[in-house]
Amino acid sequence: MYDKRLDAVVKTADLGSFSKAAQAMGYSVPALVKQINSFEAQTGITLFERSNKGVRLTSGGKALVTDARSIIAQCELAVQNAAKAQAQADSLVRVGISLYQSGQRMLGLCQRLYMQNTELSIQFVPIGDTFESYKEVVENFEERIDIFGSTFLSEVDERMCSIVPIAEPLLCISVPVNDPLALVEPLDLASLAGRRVHVPKRGNPYVDEARDEIERMAPGVEFVEFRHYDISIFDECARLGDLLLSKDIWRSAHPLMSTMNVKWNKVEPYCLYYAREPRPAVRQFAEILKELAKKPR
């Protein structure tokens, strides 16, 4: 970052001797003198007065050495700052979060990882609550987001990214808080008879199985399909007094909807999604979260 011959000039000025400077720097005397002579020849400045008693800086040499010390110190600081920034970037994991897909499960695991004081640093980056947003992240991992947690995304191909299941949240039914069903838990599927239940469009085998069982056990149930969970779905159910096939990770997702357990044991995998060939920090992050997910709080 600067002319390294300045190191020989400054060391010679400090020690007042070519031989002492050469020994301190691990050079031969001719090699050190060659550096200084070439610098003087190139700049046209005589840096040292030579004598049998040693060497002494000229007035030009004094001015140069004063400035050289500052240049060398600034360059060393710049390298240190760059190394620090690189280390921080190498250890940084950018976690994509959204209200309806990350859920408390992912955030809780991140908190436990943080409490372990690992060398990893975490930055949370928002993701829009649409499948298109998730697809864009998957296709461009490590540009803005390194990893995110989500319940099963049937449209995402494992060839596009790494998918690691870390939990199996229960499928539930969310009901308006003023609905009589909000007072009964767990819900009996027969109590859904004749009600309107909002469900995702078919394509997710876990959700489809739950939908089929509701249809068998709740005569006259009417399904209202939507493509992707977002806050508007919860808003619509609360406004219309309808029910929503939901998940227990969303119990605090909407203040006007209560998420109720059902008399079944149906689950949907909750997974980590990240690049097929992630950075070391991202791979370590995923491995730690996977292990933490196996342990009780």
**pLDDT higher than 90, residue 157:** no
pLDDT at 66: 94
Domain 90-166+270-294 CATH assignment equals 3.90.1150.10: no
Q: What is the pLDDT of residue 262?
A: 97
Which of 3.40.190.10, 3.40.109.10, 3.50.50.100, 3.10.129.10 would CATH assign to domain 171-260? 3.40.190.10
The pLDDT of residue 250: 84
**Residue 297 pLDDT class (50, 70, 90 cuts):** low
pLDDT tens-digit series, residues 4-36:
999 999 999 999 999 999 999 999 999 999 999
pLDDT at 106 over 60: yes
| Separation in Å, CA 132 to CA 16, 129, 135 | 70, 9, 5
Every domain of the chain and the residues it spans: 5-88, 90-166+270-294, 171-260
Give the confidence band of 103 by pLDDT, cuts at 50, 70, 90.
low
Residue pair 56/63 in contact by the 8 Å Cβ criterion: no
**pLDDT, tens only, 223-279:** 999 988 888 999 999 999 999 999 988 888 899 999 999 999 999 998 999 999 999
Write down the pLDDT at residue 182. 96
Average pLDDT of the chain, as a whole number: 90
| Fold agreement between 90-166+270-294 and 171-260 | yes
Does the domain made of 5-88 have the CATH classification 3.30.465.10? no
Say if residues 258 and 271 touch (Cβ distance below 8 Å). Answer: no
